[in-house]
């Protein structure tokens, strides 16, 4: 398959490399001058998109996505698929999908879960919104870049699934860190805390898989000085997207809003920028009530 890939950063680069390694003809463009093994470099987004059966984008935000769509949609062949794997606001995803569909293209919004490791290892999960025909065309590509792709419904629903998931993740990580800090002050051993909670009703992915306490549970960024597997500033981005969507949909999300405010404080006023989102635990260790 002839593929154009726009956005060859920490996530997009290895995703494009995996597609090329699988035998696809991949032409890539990034605003930074990067070289990806097996990927033919293009001088512009338009050049990468011309003649492609699928154009994949992995971009930082909705504004940049809209700008790139303005460049590539007019040069794409009718019937081609515009597959956006960025995490952006729902309104931008739906606006770009409408633009693509009006030009005779299929459009998919397919944000991912799994981080840089998942991109490198081809084990990402894709949450996909858009038409069934586009999903069927891209299915083989999802199988190369990831381990699972879930069709969540019409355009925008992939982004909706991603931000709802990450709103839960942000809130559960905060309360998991709070609970460990409370356990410390109550004299409860962290291993005992983990052994109870991980097999009881308080269990969660934040506790069982990504435990924020060093030396407890499976290896996680806590065991590497909180070097980011998923950076706190990226969690803040997703929580803000969730609140934008909640505002647009007139949904009441007080816990999601509280999580966003805590991560904003952690990233913008404290030492959270550049650290893993589970570094909330040492933050709470140092704090007192009030």
pLDDT (tens digit, 9 = 90+) per residue, 183-203?
999 999 999 999 999 999 999
- What pLDDT shows up at residue 235? 97
Query: What is the three-class DSSP state of 132?
Result: helix
Within 10 angstroms of residue 247's Cβ, the number of other Cβ atoms is 11
| Spatial distance between the Cα atoms of 3 and 99, rounded to a whole number of angstroms | 20
| Spatial distance between the Cα atoms of 169 and 140, rounded to a whole number of angstroms | 29
162 annotated active-site? yes
| Spatial distance between the Cα atoms of 217 and 187, rounded to a whole number of angstroms | 19
- What pLDDT shows up at residue 290? 76
User: What are the Cα distances from residue 226, in Å, to 77, 117, 168, 198?
Assistant: 45, 16, 21, 21
Q: What is the 3-state composition of the chain as percent helix, strand, coil, each rounded to the nearest 5?
A: 50, 15, 35
DSSP-derived secondary structure for 223-271: GGTT--SSBHHHHHHHHHHHHHHHHHHT---HHHHHHHHHHHHHHHTSS
Buried/exposed 143-171: b ≥16 CB within 10 Å, e otherwise: eebbeebebbeebbbbbbbbbbbbbbbbb
Query: What is the three-class DSSP state of 206?
Result: helix
Query: 61 exposed, middle or buried (CB, 10 Å; 0-12, 13-18, 19+)?
Result: middle
Query: What is the three-class DSSP state of 78?
Result: coil
User: Model pTM?
Assistant: 0.90
Q: Put residue 104 in one of left, alpha, beta given phi > 0 → left and psi -120 to 50 → alpha.
A: left
The backbone torsions φ and ψ at residue 192, rounded to the nearest 5 degrees and listed phi first, read -65, -40
Residue 286 carries which DSSP code?
T
| Spatial distance between the Cα atoms of 138 and 40, rounded to a whole number of angstroms | 20
- What pLDDT shows up at residue 246? 96
CA atoms within 13 A on the CB side of 13: 12
Q: Which of 162, 185, 237, 286 is catalytic?
A: 162
> Which structure tokens are listed for 55?
């154009």
Query: What is the three-class DSSP state of 62?
Result: helix
Per-residue pLDDT of the chain (290 residues; tens, 9 = 90+): 999 999 999 999 999 999 999 999 999 999 998 999 999 999 999 999 999 999 999 999 999 999 999 999 999 999 999 999 999 999 999 999 999 999 999 999 999 998 888 999 999 999 999 999 999 999 999 999 999 999 999 999 999 999 999 999 999 999 999 999 999 999 999 999 999 999 999 999 999 999 999 999 999 999 999 999 899 999 999 999 999 999 999 999 999 999 999 999 999 999 999 999 999 999 999 999 97
Residue 127 carries which DSSP code?
E
């Amino acid at each position: 398959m002839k593929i154009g890939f726009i956005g060859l950063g920490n996530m997009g680069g290895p995703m494009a490399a995996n597609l090329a390694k699988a035998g696809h003809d991949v032409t890539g463009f990034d605003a930074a001058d990067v070289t990806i093994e097996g990927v033919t470099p293009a001088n512009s987004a338009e050049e990468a998109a011309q003649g492609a059966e699928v154009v994949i984008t992995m971009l930082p935000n909705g504004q940049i996505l809209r700008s790139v769509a303005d460049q590539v949609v007019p040069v794409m062949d009718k019937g081609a698929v515009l597959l956006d794997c960025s995490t952006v606001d729902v309104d931008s995803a739906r606006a770009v999908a409408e633009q693509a569909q009006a030009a005779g293209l299929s459009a998919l919004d397919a944000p991912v879960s799994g981080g840089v490791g998942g991109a490198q290892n081809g084990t990402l999960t894709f949450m996909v919104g858009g038409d069934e025909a586009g999903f069927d065309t891209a299915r083989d590509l999802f199988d190369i870049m990831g381990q699972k792709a879930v069709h969540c419904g019409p355009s925008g629903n992939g982004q909706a699934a991603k931000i709802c998931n990450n709103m839960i993740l942000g809130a559960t990580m905060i309360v998991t860190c709070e609970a460990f800090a409370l356990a410390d002050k109550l004299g409860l051993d962290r291993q005992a805390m983990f052994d109870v909670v991980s097999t009881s009703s308080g269990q969660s992915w934040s506790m069982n898989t990504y435990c924020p306490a060093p030396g407890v549970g499976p290896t996680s960024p806590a065991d590497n000085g909180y070097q980011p597997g998923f950076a706190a500033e990226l969690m803040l981005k997703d929580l803000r997207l969730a609140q934008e969507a909640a505002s647009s949909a007139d949904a009441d999300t007080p816990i999601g809003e509280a999580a966003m405010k805590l991560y904003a404080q952690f990233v913008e006023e404290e030492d959270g920028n550049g650290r893993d989102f589970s570094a909330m635990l040492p933050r709470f260790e140092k704090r007192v009530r009030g």
